Structure 1
């Protein structure tokens, strides 16, 4: 089932971003250009996402990221340039 959109960004305050159309309950690995490059992230309406330190949605987990709780600076939580994958679900 399509969960919606998650937007990942290389810079603070949602700059240099790419939106991903995502399926609910699926893990997504970031490509080489985005691996360990994410500084801010936000989820679309009715979507909850978790970010992971390693590919395959393994290792340390951060989040949740939901529409009304955006993460403009992942460095605040020790996650700047640390994300390798993410997993999202429909709320």
Structure 2
């Protein structure tokens, strides 16, 4: 995948092989100078697909808050047994 923009050291915007926009979380994924090709998928904790590429505003939100929001969205999906928008954690 191609990392196109750093949000912070642990969050970055990327594109998969098909050109779909992604937000990736993982230790150090935003550290190297962008753009760069990211091959070590073992470092990725979470991937969000179909997220508005204008999500760079998330740079002001800490990693912990974004991960907790993601966990809450996952819990809601399970408890409600419903399909919820993949970018729910960002809304």
TM range (shorter): under 0.3
Higher relative contact order (CA 8 A, sep 6+): 1
- TM value normalised by structure 2: 0.28
Which of structures 1 and 2 has the bigger CA Rg? 2
Higher normalized strand content (fraction of residues): 1
